[in-house]
């Protein structure tokens, strides 16, 4: 992982440098985190592993949400009707309004 990826993941997780230093690096050393993001120091393996695990967990959560939506409406698209007449052609007995 490089400095840009580190910074991008921090932004994806909507965390501040101080929060990352406390909760991900578990050192509370914000200056070290800044040096990693600036590329001045190598990122410790434990930090990389933690971020990759968090990214994987986030991916699982997103896929679960997508799956739930797809199961509810049948797929990931919604049918569009430009007007009531077009709707009634497909659902002649439907009284949804």
Q: Which domains does the chain have, with CATH numbers?
A: 3-90 (1.10.3100.10)
Rounded-to-integer distance, Cα 66 and Cα 75, Å:
9
Encode pLDDT of 30-77 as tens digits: 999 999 999 999 999 999 999 999 999 999 999 888 787 777 665 556
Alpha helices for the chain (secondary structure H)? 3-12, 17-23, 30-38, 45-73, 84-90
Q: CB neighbours of 25 closer than 8 A, spacing ≥ 6?
A: 32, 33, 44, 46, 47
Q: Is the pLDDT of residue 97 over 60?
A: no
Q: What is the pLDDT of residue 95?
A: 67
CA nearest neighbour of 54 among 14, 17, 27, 16 = 14
What predicted TM-score, i.e. pTM, was given to this entire model? 0.67
């Amino acid at each position: 992982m490089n400095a840009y990826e580190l910074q991008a993941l921090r932004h994806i997780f909507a965390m501040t440098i101080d929060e990352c230093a406390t909760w991900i690096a578990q050192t509370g050393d914000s200056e070290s985190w800044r040096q990693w993001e600036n590329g001045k120091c190598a990122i410790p393996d434990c930090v990389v592993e933690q971020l990759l695990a968090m990214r994987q967990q986030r991916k699982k959560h997103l896929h679960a949400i997508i799956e739930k939506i797809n199961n509810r409406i049948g797929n990931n698209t919604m049918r569009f009707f430009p007007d009531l007449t077009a709707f009634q052609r497909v659902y002649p007995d439907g009284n949804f309004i």
